[in-house]
Amino acid sequence: MSENMKMTGGGKGWRIIKKILGFILPFVILIAIPVVLIWIFSAYPYKSTPDNRQDFLEQNWDRYITRGAKWMESYDVEGFELTLCPFSDDDWDENISPEEAGFICGDVTVPLFHDLPEGETITIPIAIWPDYENPPIQTPLFITHGGPGGSALDMYPRWFYPNRIGGERDLVFIDQRGTRFAAPNLMCPEVTESSSDGLEDYQDYLSYCRARLAGKGINLNAFNSPEIARDIEVVRRVLDYSQINFYGVSYGSHIGQYLAAFYPESIRSLILDGVAPIPLDYLNRSVSTHDRILNQHISNCEQDPICAEQYPDLLARLEQTVARLDKDPVSLRFHVPNSLYSFTDNVDGEIFYNYILTSSYLDHTYASLPYIIQQSEKDHYDSLVAFFEAYMMKDLTATGLYYAVICAEHSLITPVNTNENILSPSMLSWEEQDQEEYQERCSHWKLDRPDEMLTVMPKSNVPTLLLSGLFDPVTPPGYGEIALESFQLGQHLVDPVGAHGVAFNDKCTKNILEEFLDNPEVIINPECLKDPDRKKPTVPPEAISSPIIREAEDITGYTYLFSGLIFLVMLPSYIISGIRWLIRKKKGTLPERSPREKRLIRLFELASWVFILCNIGFGIGLNYFINLLSEYPGYWQANAFPAQARVILIIPPLLILVLPAVVIPSFMLWKYKKNVFRRSYYLLHVLYCGGFGFYLISSGLLLAWAR
């Protein structure tokens, strides 16, 4: 073979290799970039929770003990076992750990039955957020949740941090026995596993949970209000506080009344929010409480000239929707949060009606409810879907504790009075059915009535602030009046815009709480509750119902992310291309480009910049309306944007129209650009722009403006 032929063959072979590498390497680079990014984010996570949480915990405890010994002659803390804060993983959104923020978490061991102190024991989780700068003689505020079965550690630490509520005093968050972080807990995860376990209905899953708990040797007769109240007294003694202030919401207010009856000398003051009076009998009152809240919402709209004009005949329209759904249920798709799984379910009149009642637990539902009813007439149920999806995120309530308390302590269920004059006649049959179902469930639990259960609340001299929300669907203001009769130093305030639990809603109620804690025996001035600015305007009919509002913050983040990625791809390309152009111009070796190539490049660059700028504009606009809606919670609950947002929501369809002008020239320029990095540049454009386009399509953003 001649030398010339060897050279020719070698050149041809090298050209083939270059062509193969020129095709493969861009994809290799494309794959390498996300791999590197994943490695960076895993090596340097955004959330900077320190690895030495235990060190912070022990330092906090030393400060706590040192402070106590300094200010108190006899100070003895025994029976408290330090643990890392259990709420740090799922429920703590800060960039530092709870321990670094100053929280002290631990377990207190208590008797399973307090009349058998030497018998079996269980543990109660607590979280202390001390005021390290002030002496502990300033009595702490003990805080527990409602339910029964709610977890205080799940909710309150992240609510209170970093803006401390309650003045200069220690805050002690207590989970009741049987709740999520207690040992044992009475959680019933079967509810989320019912489809895979073949459990056909709620009763099946509940019976399965009851059998599982009993099979673990858990004596369910130990989980009741008297035992829970005695647990809190044990925590007070363990932490060596002479007296405490106690806050309880809903069922937590029920526990507060037990504390006042059992340990009046230990209680400096009580704050009972959303009052569940003694005896615990709200199931028998469900017809009257549900009818009252519906009447309250209807009356509120009728008495508001704007709402009355925009939403006439609201009750009749609600009844028509309920009747229509009973006759012809609508099939809705629900997406399970944090998963790819979704399912469809039928929504009938009863489910829709119960949604109306349950959503009234949220603050300012009065502002969203008329719009929600109007949207149901158009078969738009975005708010209902979002509501139920939010409750599917995770089961935070200890359902086993709920039924252990309700079935043991609730009065015998009395038949529904079918002669009651109520707004919604169809409600009577549903309420009767619900009561029958409660009776059936409780028959499976077979629980004894607690010996120390209070059927009458004794008179108490403990200074007490009772708080109620006018729009509370389950513990209305009338319940506060019932409980007030037992507190000789009690005062009852009704928040005219409040729902279920009002103490921490805004500056007004927080100031009332702190004023009371500073001097519990002084009569509170409730004038700020009457401030007309506290009441939010009704969501207008022209608002844009959109399923994306609950994910608006995530969408904004994705918008900025994709815009940033595209820009980061373009910037180095412009710098390198500019340098190469200067060098070639100086050498006089600028390449000649065909008119077609020039047109493709101009189209590609123009479309890319339009895509980026529109994307950024969409993110900025969406962020503006998110901040705006923070002042108008009714829009959040109604899953709606103001009508002005249509200008912003029309951008996603425009982006999809621009997308082909980015993607098609990218592929057509492939044959003109032999350089590996230039080809990678076009591939990255296709990936990022195409990926965001797919996200826009799959998220439902394209038609959001038309709702």
Compute φ and ψ for 702, nearest 5 degrees.
-65, -35
- For the domain 53-188+223-281+453-534, what is the CATH code? 3.40.50.1820
Q: What is the mean pLDDT of the chain?
A: 83
Percent of the chain with pLDDT over 90: 42
The residue-averaged pLDDT of 643-648 equals: 89
Compute φ and ψ for 5, nearest 5 degrees.
-70, -40
pLDDT in tens, 151-166: 999 889 888 888 888 7
**Cβ neighbours of residue 101 closer than 8 Å, sequence gap 6 or more:** 94, 161, 162
pLDDT in tens, 459-513: 999 999 999 999 999 999 999 999 999 999 999 999 999 999 999 988 999 999 9
The residue-averaged pLDDT of 558-563 equals: 74
pLDDT at 199 over 60: no
pLDDT at 18 over 70: no
Least confident of 192-201, 268-277, 332-341: 192-201
* Pairs from 488-492 (Cβ < 8 Å, separation ≥ 24): 488/459, 488/460, 488/461, 489/461, 489/462, 489/463, 489/464, 489/520, 489/521, 490/463, 490/464, 490/465, 490/466, 491/464, 491/465, 491/466, 491/523, 491/524, 492/466, 492/467, 492/468
pLDDT band at 274; cut points 50, 70, 90 = very high
Between 392 and 255, the higher pLDDT residue: 255
How confident is the model at residue 512, as a pLDDT?
95
pLDDT at 23 over 60: no
Task: Give the CA distances from residue 236 to residues 82, 167, 298, in Å, rounded to whole numbers and listed in that order.
Answer: 16, 19, 45
Sheet order of strands, 171-174 included: 80-82, 104-111, 121-129, 171-174, 141-144, 244-249, 267-273, 464-469, 490-495
The residue-averaged pLDDT of 174-190 equals: 92
> CA–CA separation, 567 vs 589, rounded Å?
29
- Ranges of beta strands (E only) in 470-610 are 490-495, 544-545
CB 672 within 8 A of CB 597: yes
pLDDT band at 588; cut points 50, 70, 90 = confident
Domain residues of the chain, as ranges? 53-188+223-281+453-534, 286-445, 543-706
Compute φ and ψ for 161, nearest 5 degrees.
-90, 135
pLDDT at 674 over 60: yes
How confident is the model at residue 122, as a pLDDT?
96
Least confident of 215-229, 362-376, 396-410, 692-706: 692-706
**Cβ neighbours of residue 475 closer than 8 Å, sequence gap 6 or more:** 250, 253, 274, 275, 276, 282, 289, 468, 500
pLDDT at 12 over 80: no
pLDDT at 194 over 60: no
pLDDT band at 112; cut points 50, 70, 90 = very high
